[in-house]
C-alpha cells in the first residue's frame, strides 16, 4: 500500500442554483519520501485538493488514505489532531505572526506537539541560525518563507504541504526555497507536496500530477528529477 492513496476524491461546492466540482474523481498514489508537484492553472482545484489532504477541508466523496488511515472518515476532533501532529503547512504569503520573532514563530508550532524539533535547530536547517531574534518585518520575503518552512518542519510532520510556496518570491529566492524543500525529501525522507501553477517547477518532482478543471489530466513519474540549480523560469 502506498503512503498516500487518494481514490475518487470529489469536492462539490454550491454555486448559485447549481454546483461546481472543485475536485472531480481525483485518484493518485504517493510513496513515502517523495517530492510531488501538483501542477495546474488558477482555479484548477489545487488548493482544494491540498486542503483536503491536510485535513483543513473535507471532501464530498472518495477515500483519502494517509499512512493507512482514511482521513475522509475522520471526525472534526480527529482532523484537528491530524492537522496538529501529522501535517506541516507552507503558504504563499508565509502567515507569520508579526510581533513574534522568528524563533517565537517556530515555537508557536513546535510547542503544540510532543515530538518536536528544537526551534533554533529548525531555523538553522533553513539557513537562518543568525536571524532567530529578528521579527518578520526585519526579514526579506525569502527569509520569511524560510521561517515558515522552519515552523512547518519543527513539528516533524509526516507530510509537508506547500501551496504556491514560491508565488510571492523572485526567481533566485524562489529557487533557494525549493532547494530546501527538495532537500527535505531527499535527505530527511520527508514526504513533500508542492502545489504550483508554475510549470518550470515540474522537472524537480519525483512525480508530477497535472490538474485541470478539477480532474487529473496526466501523471508523470520521473526517476531522475532535475536539480534545482538547472531550473529556469
Binding site for Mg ion (CB under 5 A): 47
Closest residue by Cα to residue 151 from 111, 179, 178: 111
* Residue 116 CB, nearest approach to ligand ADP (Å): 29
* C-alpha cell read off for 119: 526551534
* Residue 71 CB, nearest approach to ligand ADP (Å): 18
Inter-residue contact 173 to 141 (CB < 8 Å):
yes
Q: Does 93 bind ligand ADP (CB under 6 A)?
A: no
Inter-residue contact 31 to 193 (CB < 8 Å):
no
Inter-residue contact 102 to 133 (CB < 8 Å):
yes
If contact means CB under 5 to 8 A according to the sort of partner, which of Mg ion, ligand ADP, none does residue 177 touch?
none
Q: Does 13 bind ligand ADP (CB under 6 A)?
A: yes
Site string for ligand ADP, 42-81 (x = CB under 6 A): xxxxxxx---------------------------------
Site string for ligand ADP, 138-177 (x = CB under 6 A): ----------------------------------------
Tell me how crowded residue 63 is: count the other CB atoms within 10 A of its CB: 15
* Residue 47 CB, nearest approach to Mg ion (Å): 3
Sheet holding 191-196, edge to edge: 87-90, 159-163, 191-196, 35-39, 207-212, 215-221
Shorter beta-carbon distance to ligand ADP: residue 12 or 179:
12
Amino acid at each position: 500500500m502506498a503512503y498516500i492513496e487518494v481514490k475518487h476524491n470529489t469536492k462539490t461546492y454550491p454555486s448559485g442554483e447549481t454546483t461546481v466540482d472543485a475536485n472531480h474523481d481525483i485518484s493518485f498514489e504517493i510513496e513515502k519520501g517523495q517530492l510531488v508537484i501538483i501542477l495546474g492553472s488558477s482555479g484548477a482545484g489545487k488548493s482544494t485538493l491540498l486542503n483536503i489532504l491536510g485535513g483543513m477541508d473535507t471532501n464530498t466523496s472518495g477515500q483519502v488514505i494517509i499512512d493507512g488511515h482514511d482521513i475522509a472518515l475522520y471526525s472534526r476532533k480527529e482532523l484537528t489532531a491530524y492537522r496538529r501532529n501529522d501535517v506541516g503547512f507552507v503558504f504563499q504569503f508565509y502567515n507569520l505572526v508579526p510581533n513574534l520573532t522568528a524563533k517565537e514563530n517556530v515555537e508557536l508550532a513546535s510547542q503544540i506537539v510532543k515530538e518536536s524539533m528544537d526551534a533554533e535547530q529548525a531555523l538553522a536547517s533553513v539557513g537562518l541560525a543568525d536571524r532567530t531574534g529578528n521579527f518578520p518585518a526585519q526579514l526579506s520575503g525569502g527569509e520569511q518563507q524560510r521561517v515558515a518552512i522552519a515552523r512547518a518542519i519543527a513539528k516533524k510532520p509526516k507530510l509537508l504541504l506547500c501551496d504556491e510556496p514560491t508565488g510571492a518570491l523572485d526567481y533566485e529566492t524562489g529557487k533557494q526555497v525549493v532547494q530546501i524543500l527538495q532537500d527535505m525529501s531527499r535527505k530527511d525522507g520527508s514526504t513533500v507536496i508542492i502545489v504550483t501553477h508554475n510549470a518550470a517547477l515540474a522537472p524537480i518532482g519525483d512525480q508530477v500530477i497535472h490538474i485541470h478543471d478539477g480532474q487529473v489530466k496526466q501523471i508523470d513519474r520521473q526517476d531522475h528529477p532535475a536539480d534545482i540549480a538547472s531550473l529556469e523560469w
